[in-house]
């Protein structure tokens, strides 16, 4: 095994194991050793976070392990991102605006989706909870967002997701809309004209990738 492939394998393992301390040193070692930022991301970090998602889907990983992996990915990206910018950028899958709809203050699920999207290469603007429609629309316009993700955890607040789809459409924005939260469903997404629905954070990454890049 070459030095480069050793570092990439160690990076994958560190992300998978949620080791946010050693992952930073490994990311520096990869760049200092001559790997490009994109190689470091695509052959080191991404396999680790993807495997964490697979293990979650297989029931081997649970939310804390998944979150630890995402945090390790984030820590490594803070090292790699400046180098990526110097190499002319690239590697960003799309721009996402995410928030919990007005009247609803559930936070953790939405934050988890945002964190996993960021860990998987999306540029994420997390608007927090109780987000008014106007703020979703303004941020989507400002960022020229590819995707707006709206979370609602109650039947009384999910109607805001429908309002959001209408508001984005009336504003003439190109952003696609993904909805989630306990009362939401694929049928609900279809009914309100949303482009996607996900019932967990790992599925949200796959749906976002499909909506933004067309990749299955």
Residues that bind another protein (CB under 8 A): 17-18, 59-60, 62-65, 67-68, 70-71, 74, 101-108, 111-112, 115, 130, 153-157, 160, 182, 199-200
Distance CA 169, CA 165 (A): 6
CA–centroid distance for 24 within its chain: 20
Q: What is the closest distance, in whole angstroms, from the C-beta atom of residue 60 to another protein in the complex?
A: 8
Whose Cβ is closer to another protein: residue 126's or residue 146's? 126
Whose Cβ is closer to another protein: residue 35's or residue 48's? 48
Whose Cβ is closer to another protein: residue 6's or residue 130's? 130
Whose Cβ is closer to another protein: residue 21's or residue 191's? 21
Q: What is the DSSP letter of 198?
A: -
Q: What is the closest distance, in whole angstroms, from the C-beta atom of residue 176 to another protein in the complex?
A: 24
Q: What is the closest distance, in whole angstroms, from the C-beta atom of residue 117 to another protein in the complex?
A: 13
Q: What is the closest distance, in whole angstroms, from the C-beta atom of residue 103 to another protein in the complex?
A: 3
Distance CA 10, CA 106 (A): 36
Q: Which residue has the tokens 């109780």?
A: 130
Whose Cβ is closer to another protein: residue 18's or residue 146's? 18
Which residues, listed in sequence order, are joined to residue 122 by a DSSP beta bridge? 94
Q: What is the three-class DSSP state of 124?
A: strand
User: How many C-beta atoms lie closer than 10 Å to residue 54's C-beta?
Assistant: 13
Cα four-point dihedral sign 58, 63, 68, 72: positive
Q: What is the closest distance, in whole angstroms, from the C-beta atom of residue 75 to another protein in the complex?
A: 9
């Amino acid at each position: 095994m070459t030095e480069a492939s050793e570092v990439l394998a160690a990076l994958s393992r560190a992300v998978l194991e949620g080791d946010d301390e050693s992952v930073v040193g490994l990311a520096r070692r990869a760049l200092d050793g001559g790997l490009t930022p994109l190689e470091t991301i695509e052959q080191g970090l991404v396999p680790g976070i993807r495997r964490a998602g697979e293990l979650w889907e297989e029931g081997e990983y649970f939310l804390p392990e998944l979150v630890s992996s995402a945090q390790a990915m984030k820590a490594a990206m803070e090292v790699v991102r400046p180098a990526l910018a110097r190499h002319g950028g690239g590697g960003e899958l799309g721009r996402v605006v995410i928030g919990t709809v007005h009247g609803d203050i559930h936070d953790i699920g939405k934050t988890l989706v945002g964190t996993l999207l960021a860990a998987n290469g999306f540029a994420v603007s997390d608007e927090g909870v109780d987000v008014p429609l106007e703020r979703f629309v303004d941020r989507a316009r400002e960022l020229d967002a590819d995707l707006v993700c709206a979370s609602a955890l109650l039947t009384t607040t999910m109607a805001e997701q429908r309002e959001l789809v209408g508001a984005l459409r009336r504003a003439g924005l190109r952003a696609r809309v993904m909805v989630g939260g306990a009362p939401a469903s694929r049928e609900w997404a279809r009914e309100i004209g949303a482009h996607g629905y996900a019932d967990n954070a790992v599925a949200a990454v796959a749906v976002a990738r499909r909506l933004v890049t067309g990749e299955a």
